[in-house]
Amino acid sequence: MSVGRVGRTFLLASVLAGVSVAVLGWADRRVAAFPSPAPPGIAMPGAPFSDGAPLYHRHCAACHGPTGDAEGRLASGPLRPRSFRREPFRYVTTDNGIADERDVLRVVCMGIPSAGMPPSRFLLSDTECAALARYVREIRRLGVLEALAREAKEGGEAIEAGEAEQIAREAVMPGESVPVPPDAPVAPDPQRGAALFAQHCATCHGARGDGRGESPVLADPLGRPVPPRNLARDPFRGGERDEDLFRRVRCGIPGTAMSAFGPVVFSDDDVWCVIDHVRSLRREASCR
């Protein structure tokens, strides 16, 4: 018996929302230390050897864990690594909030130094970085399969492998890349930026951008608190360039309370005005 249409829709919605999304780590069959058990209830197809597997276990597993569960031997401490098993990729450039290969590749290459993640571009070749990014995305896809199997089991239904594969493909399929206008306005309206920030951003980030807004601190998919970024002083983990900030506003940060502000809410000029205001808050903070 397969999952009905309503159940299938619920499962896909749950995965896309980051609810109980888990992932199986997989590796080259020749690496005995990293077996690839299939999720219960689903016959996993044989995964071909990936050049990214040994790179992952050599350079990433100590923090992110051999299976991508964020339980590596160096994972303790305040800066917890991302769990590829249960968390979405945060720094995305797509209109549906699902990372494409370029999004993952950029984080692999550039790292997130303020979060304790070093860049790989100084250690690995471009080809190796690309293989590593593809491997991490594959971990994510396999995790969706694991989540589907678990939720189907909890719901007392069976799910066929082919149907699960289709749902998993849809759940990790990136949308269209969000375009960035070629140039910011020559003179963004500071009053407009301040008003938009006060209306849409200050509740979380605070009137001065110091992260001390009135909203309660929410949690990530693992239940860990995710306080709002101190925009006045903290590094921008998704990138400092204008285009990076434009996409953070447009695409949001999946897995956090930072929602996407599409064209219905902010025009392109509105986004630039907000970015200009945030940069002004940083300038003010640097003088205090």
Interval 89-145: pLDDT, tens: 999 999 999 999 999 999 999 999 888 899 998 999 988 899 999 999 999 998 888
- Cβ within 8 Å of residue 117, ≥6 positions away: 63, 81, 107, 111
Percent of the chain with pLDDT over 90: 53
What value, to the nearest 5°, has the Cα angle with vertex 145 and ends 140 and 151? 120
**How far apart are the C-alpha atoms of 241 and 106, rounded to whole Å?**
13
pLDDT digits (tens, 9 = 90+) for 59-87: 999 999 999 989 999 988 778 899 998 89
* Predicted local confidence at residue 75, as pLDDT: 87
All structural domains of the chain, each given as residue ranges with its CATH number in brackets, are: 5-171 (no CATH), 190-286 (1.10.760.10)
User: 3-class SS at 116?
Assistant: coil
H-helix or E-strand spanning residue 202 = helix 202-205
Give the residue carrying structure tokens 């209830």. 41
**How far apart are the C-alpha atoms of 76 and 235, rounded to whole Å?**
22
Task: Indicate the pTM of the whole model.
Answer: 0.79
* Predicted local confidence at residue 8, as pLDDT: 53
pLDDT digits (tens, 9 = 90+) for 189-214: 999 999 999 999 999 999 999 999 99
Q: Does residue 37 register a pLDDT over 50?
A: no
Average pLDDT, rounded, for the chain: 82
User: 3-class SS at 190?
Assistant: helix
CA contacts within 13 A on the Cβ side of 5: 0
* Predicted local confidence at residue 220, as pLDDT: 84
| C-alpha distance from residue 214 to each of 48, 201, 202, 218 (Å) | 50, 11, 8, 12
> Is 277 buried (19+), middle (13-18) or exposed (0-12) by CB count in 10 A?
buried
* Predicted local confidence at residue 29, as pLDDT: 26
**How far apart are the C-alpha atoms of 190 and 218, rounded to whole Å?**
30
